Structure formats: C-alpha cells, structure tokens
Chain A
Amino acid sequence: MYIDEQFQLKAKEAMDKEGAIGPDVDLSAFDPAPLPHREMADEDLVNLPEEERTQLLMAGLDVTEKERGGTFLQMNHRAVHCHSSQEGIEVLSIQKALEEHDWIRDYYWKLADVGTDKYTAAAQLGLHDGYVIRSLPGRKSVYPIQACLYMHEDGMQQNVHNIIVAEEDSELHIISGCATSPHLKRGLHVGISEFFVKKNAKITFTMIHNWAEEVVVRPRSVARVEEGGLFVNNYVSMKPVRSIQMYPTTHLVGKDAVARFYSIVVGSPGSEYDLGGRIILKEKGNRAEIVARTISNGAKIIARGHLVGEVPDIKAHLECKGLLLNGGVIHAIPELEGHADGVEMSHEAAVGKIAQEEISYLMSRGLNEEEATSTIVRGFLSVDIPGLPPQLQAEIDRAIEESDKDVM
C-alpha cells in the first residue's frame, strides 16, 4: 500500500522529534512490546476484580452497560471488547477497521499529521489499537457509547489511534475514559484522535482521565466540523499524573459550525499539566467557546487557549479560571487572533484564591468554614455544558464529587 508507506516514511523522519511544547519524554524508558490479552465477553467484564471495575467506573466505563449504547474496552495493547447496541452506530477496533474496511482510509491520518512529533510517529510505527466509532447518516445515539483505554502492566507504553465519525444529520455521544490498574505506577499513553463532524451532525465527547502518579500522557487530537455541525469536547482530570501535554485543535470548516471545549482539572502535587484547546473559525456564523477551570493543590498547570477568527461574523469566547488552593503554579495563556474586520472575540482569565467574602456569606447561612470552602470549590468546578446528555453530566458530577475528598 503506497499510502501506508508514505505514513511510515513520515513517521520515521519524526521519530526523534520533540513535541512543540511540554516536557520531553524519553520513549526508551517505556516498553511498547505487545502484551497479549484475550477477548472479553460481557460476563468477563462483569467478573473483573472489584478494584479494576472501580478504576474503570472512575473513567466512566460501567461494566454493567446500564444506560450505555455500546462499549469499547482496550486492555493494554488490544481491544478486548467492542459492541454497539444501537442500530446505525458502529463500534470497532481500529486494527480491524484497517484490515477490513476501505472507508477508514478516508479518515486515518487525514486531520492529524503523522509527522507532528515523536508521539504521532510512535502511533504510526508501533500502533497497538484504538477505537473507531461512527454514526451513520441521520442516526442519533440515544445512550452514550463508552470507550476505555486501560493500562495494566507497569512500565508499559500504549499507542492508540481513535477515529470518530458522525455522518450527516447524525448524533453521537461518547464517554471516553483512560485508566490504569491500581498496581500500575509507571506508563506512557500516546493517543491520536481524529473527529469528523459532518453536515448538521453533532458529537459530544467527554474524556475522563484517571491515571496513576507516574504516568506520562501525550494525546494528539484534531477535529473538523462541517456546516451546521456541533462538536462538544469535555475533559475531566481529577487524579494525579506525572505529566500530560495536549493541545487539541478543531477546525470549523462549514457555515454555522460550532465547537465548545470544557476542561475541569484538579492538579495534585508532583503532577504537571500543559493543557489547551485551539479552535479555528473559518466560516461565517462559526461559534466557539473554550472554558477551563483548574485547581492546583501543588501541581504545575499551564492552561492554554487559542481562538483564531479568520472571517467576519464569527463569535468566540475563552474563559480560563484557576484556583490555587494549596501551592503550585497555574499559568493561564489565553490567545485571541482576529484576521478579519467584524470578528467578535473575547477572553476572561483569572487566577487566584477563594474569596473570603464568599466563605463568610455561606457561613452566615450556617455552614462551617470547611463546608463553605468545599461548596465553593464544587461550584467552581461545576460547569453547565449545553447539549450534554444527562448520563454524561452525571459522570462529570460524580468525578467532581469523588475528587472533593482529595481536594480538601
């Protein structure tokens, strides 16, 4: 296959290329050698040890599949479970898709550039697996699809590539979790994701990260939204991680296309986050919103946001708020770029502490200082996300509730 050779060549050229931002990762410190794992049927999932099920649940994957429209689970290096219970919604592993379906070639490395850096290169040269989720034209997923990438062996490297496609007039809701086994301390996760939101289609993508203290994470995501399409991208990370750097980019390429990014991050001591979102508004009527809420308990958090308005009659807003509760650094870097008369772009950034006035106000309603503080923190982290199915809002709320104990 000629085209694959092209990818291979480009990947080889980029295999030592450091990422544009974020601390460099020594890939040789992790083991990418494929680890076998058997297929898992529904009952196998339910019979997983409780602590593993809890880890999965924390990343949004419910093994009982209640109120879920389909499941993808990857253990270490290969997909062990994928199925969809909704007609017109396909869930399959990318290895299988690459083997069996020609259409995947219309999407594979079409948005993300394989030559970006050594992480994209690794995902080409040593691809393990990943998911492909597609909604056929006009199909609307009633329940969200859950997808989870699980790392089990200490010191392993996991390279995944995900492709998500919403065909015209269709609707897809995905909750994607990443988690590690309670025994895993060190690991590297490289994840490429490409999102295609076609005409008048809608994707909500909610990612919950639940890593371990010594895990390094380098996702590379790009989305394209066509006319009248909507892409909602939520990111929640409440648990410690060694280092994560990502800067997902969305291109609004059709009239009236809309993208919204929401991130909620609580950073623990020793964790380093370099997170951002970039939305490029290329057509009239495009709308974009980036909202980031970060809390540092001693972490280093860089919160970036970049909005690019290329044509008039676009509107974009960026909100970046950080709370320093217990040391650490929050560095907000909001960027606005207007390239035409008639763009409407704004940002709001704030880094600080909880206002004493708010604590006192709640105390005068009978809460003690600790209750008042945690109420304010929970409020700070709770963001209204329009268009998100209630099950997914509930998952986000649960992740926040869980973290509450750690934050305080």
Chain B
Amino acid sequence: MLKIEDLQVRLGEKEILTHIDLEIGPGETHILFGPNGSGKTSLLMTIMGYSQYEVVSGKIFFKGKDITHAPIDERARMGIGMSYQRPPTINGLKTRQMVNLCAGGEIDGETLAKRVNFEEFLDRDVNAGFSGGEIKRSELLQLMAQKADLMLFDEPESGVDMENISLVGNTIAELLEKHPQPSRDRSKMQAKANRTKMGLIITHTGYILDYLPADKGQVLYNGKLSCVSNPRDILNCVGDSGYKECVRCISMNSFS
C-alpha cells in the first residue's frame, strides 16, 4: 500500500504540492487528472524519490515503511516503478541491456518486447531518437521486466498512434492485473481479490479508461488534490466545463 500524508513539496524556491493526502491500496488503480503545470508529474517524481523535489513536510509510506527520504534506487528495489513521459537518452546502452538491468539479470527480452511490438528496437540505444509512442512502449517494456508493485504512469497514452493505443492500454491493464485469469486453484473472484499491483496514472485524454477499470479519479489543481470521484465523472465534467469549474462542482458534490 502507498500512503501519503499531508505532503508538501518544493522545487527550487517554489512550493509545488501542498497538503497532499493519498492512499492506494493493494490492487487499486488511481487516475490523476489536472491541467498542465498543476503538479501531477511532480507528485510522481516525489513518490519515485527525485531529490530535487524537496519534501518540506508530510510523509510517504510504502508497504508500511516510511520512504519519505529514501533514495530512488531503494524505492525501486522495494517495488516502485515509473513509466516516464520524457525519459533521457542513454547513449551506448542498448534497450536489450536496459531490459536486463530492469530485471536484475539476463531475461528473454525478445519475448517480452514482442508483447509491446518492440523487438526491432532492442538493439537501439535507450530512447535514442524514439518517437513519443516508441518511448511509451519502451517504458512499458522496462516496467514489465522490472515487475514493480506500484507503477506510476506519466501520460502513458500521449503520442501513441491509434494502432498501438490498445496495445499500450491492454499492457498496462495486464501489468496492473486488471483482468486476472482464473486458474486451477483459484476462481476469477479470488484472483481479483488477491491482486496486489497498484497503479497511479496521469492522463489528459482518459483513453486509458477504455482498457482498464480504475478505482478512483483525483484532480490535482494548483498543487492540491482537489477532489476524489469516479474517473469517468471527472473526465466528463472536465470535458464539459473545464478544470476550474470541475473542481468546484465535484468538490461541492463530494463534500456536501
């Protein structure tokens, strides 16, 4: 479980997140909405442990442990993984090697890559000259190898073409165990109940919701988590009247 308590974060001189409370239970997926610059990526980077996002107050717990000041790699090893929107290029490091690094040892990158239609990129340098959609598939491939328990997705569908959008959506659903398969020793219901993977997904378009059910939607507005509601409702409301109005309306509804 991820639990964030009254988190306040500064980037440089600027306070970018104020009083964030968030709880993602085992098996849950949350969708994070918000206009550009509202602090969504900053929240993900803070959870991942990027030190330029300075936690001024509040706490982050993961799997019961206080990780507020834990370094990035420790969080990664505890099971937090992230799919970046604009990851850096690592020159000279092949995607194939990166997949092995994520897995912590040699794995069958070919088979894994096939699932996101990415085999032909395995021998290219990580992110070198990748298009927006290719980056997304590369990030998913790395997350598949990493087998994280909490996955943070920063706009996983942006820049992805129509042909690959369902691939990306279904892969994320699979990573988050959204469609658990019944097996000999457990029913579908049991499998669902035993889900542990957690997700926090930033989306602008909501396309991702066509592929996976999400438990909660949250709107981050001006560095504040402004409401919690059904992600579909939020999406419709933002589409109809914009974030500013949406935050008013939904918060009135949900808190009244």
Contact = CB atoms under 8 A, between A and B. Distances in A.
A144 B147 CA distance: 43
A360 B44 CA distance: 14
Contacts, number: 61
Nearest to A383: B92
Contact of A380 (B87, B92, B146): B92
A379 B88 contact: no
Contact of B91 (A362, A364, A369, A380): A380
B243 to A, nearest CB: 29
Interface string B75-117: 1110001101001101111000010011010000000000000
Contact of B88 (A361, A368, A378, A382): A361
Interface in B41-67: 48-50
B90 A358 contact: yes
Nearest to B123: A384
A405 interface: no
B71 interface: yes
B73 interface: yes
B98 A378 contact: no
B interface SS class: mixed
Contacts of B87: 361
Contacts of B104: 366
B218 interface: no
A31 B145 CA distance: 59
A367 interface: yes
B148 to A, nearest CB: 9
Contacts of A355: 88
Contact of A362 (B49, B50, B101): B101
Nearest to B72: A363
Contacts of B82: 364
Given A369-B73, A375-B101, A379-B125, A364 B90 contact: no
Nearest to A356: B52
B74 to A, nearest CB: 9
Contacts of A372: 73
B146 A365 contact: yes
Given A375-B93, A379-B93, A379-B125, A364 B88 contact: no
A361, A375, A383: residue with the most chain B Cβ atoms closer than 10 Å: A361
Given A360-B50, A375-B101, A379-B125, A365 B91 contact: no
B29 interface: no
A361 B154 CA distance: 14
A357 interface: yes
A376 interface: yes
B88 A357 contact: yes
A364 B146 CA distance: 10
B84, B91, B92, B102: residue with the most chain A Cβ atoms closer than 10 Å: B92
A381 B90 contact: no
Contacts of A369: 71, 73
Contact of B84 (A361, A379, A381): A361
B48 A382 contact: no
Contact of B90 (A362, A363, A368): A362
| Interface residue tally on A, bucketed by range | 20 to 34
A92 B71 CA distance: 59
Nearest to A370: B73
B203 interface: no
B142 interface: yes
A357, A361, A364, A376: residue with the most chain B Cβ atoms closer than 10 Å: A364
Nearest to B49: A364
B91 A379 contact: yes
Contacts of B76: 363-366
A353 to B, nearest CB: 14
Nearest to B92: A379
B49, B72, B75, B88: residue with the most chain A Cβ atoms closer than 10 Å: B72
B137 to A, nearest CB: 16
Nearest to B145: A365
Contacts of B102: 365-366
A381 B125 CA distance: 13
A365 B90 contact: no
A55 B207 CA distance: 60
Nearest to A379: B92
A361 B90 contact: yes
A367 B73 contact: yes
Interface string B185-201: 00000000000000000
Contacts of B91: 379-380
Contacts of B88: 355, 357-358, 361
A189 B102 CA distance: 46
Contacts of A381: 92
A401 to B, nearest CB: 13
B92 A363 contact: no
The 6 closest A-B pairs by CB, nearest first: A379-B92, A379-B93, A382-B92, A363-B72, A363-B73, A366-B76
Given A357-B88, A365-B101, A379-B92, 20 more contacts: A360-B50, A361-B87, A362-B101, A364-B73, A364-B82, A365-B81, A365-B142, A365-B146, A366-B76, A366-B101, A366-B102, A366-B146, A369-B71, A375-B90, A375-B93, A376-B93, A378-B93, A380-B91, A381-B92, A382-B92
21 contacts: A362-B90, A362-B101, A364-B72, A364-B73, A364-B75, A364-B81, A365-B101, A365-B102, A366-B77, A367-B73, A372-B73, A375-B90, A375-B93, A375-B101, A376-B90, A378-B92, A379-B90, A379-B125, A381-B92, A382-B92, A383-B92
Interface of A: 355, 357-358, 360-369, 372, 375-376, 378-383
Interface of B: 48-50, 71-73, 75-77, 81-82, 84, 87-88, 90-93, 98, 101-102, 104, 125, 142, 146
